[in-house]
Amino acid sequence: MGESGADESALGRIALGLDGVRAAQRGRTAEARASLEALWDELGDRDVFHRCVLAHYLADLQDDPRAELEWDRRALAAADSLTAERARTYEPALQVRAFYPSLHLNLASDHLKLGEPDLAREQLERAVRSLDALPEDAYSAGIRAAVDELRQRLR
């Protein structure tokens, strides 16, 4: 594929992503899922960083808790295959370890929705053990608060 073909492919992926985000922002969940799932297919296995982010986002767009769990599992699998060196090609300060608190928190929440409190506790414990990877910022404070809230619900 020549350079212009690569450019067209990249533009197509960007368009799919933007279409999905716009649809989600407008509350058109089915349309958002369709666009972002098409982007997922387009990315293939070659771009695990974006697959991790995309699966994490797609999980939140699911109506079925089992589908949400499956997308959250895909996000975790992508993070597990993402090396720190590869992540830094996107953002020099990016630490893959910082993904894990949110990924495990989401899995814990999924399991709780599915009536699986023991699995929820296991994932929540993994989230807790990875909290030290988070920086001190507003996003991280939100993750910590959500971990505490879920811990209270699981008591």
Contacts of 62 (CB under 8 A, 6+ apart): 33, 68, 71
Angle, CA 140 vertex, CA 138 and CA 142 arms, to 5°: 70
pLDDT at 29 (0 to 100): 86
pLDDT at 53 (0 to 100): 87
CA 45/CA 68 separation, integer angstroms? 20
Q: pLDDT: is 29 or 144 the higher one? A: 144
Angle, CA 12 vertex, CA 28 and CA 93 arms, to 5°: 90
Q: Could you tell me the two tokens for 98?
A: 């910082």
Q: Could you tell me the two tokens for 58?
A: 């797609």
Q: Could you tell me the two tokens for 99?
A: 């993904």
pLDDT at 127 (0 to 100): 98
Q: Are 90 and 53 in contact (CB under 8 A)?
A: no
pLDDT at 1 (0 to 100): 45
CA quadruple 31, 36, 39, 41: dihedral sign = negative
The whole-model pTM stands at 0.84
pLDDT at 23 (0 to 100): 74
pLDDT per position as a tens digit, 22-67 = 877 788 888 888 888 988 988 888 788 888 989 998 999 999 999 9
Closest CA to 37 of 46, 49, 25, 29: 29
pLDDT at 148 (0 to 100): 97
Least reliable range by pLDDT among 24-33, 82-91, 116-125, 145-154: 82-91
Looking only at Cα atoms, what is the longest distance across the chain? Answer: 58
CA 116/CA 109 separation, integer angstroms? 10
pLDDT at 115 over 90: yes
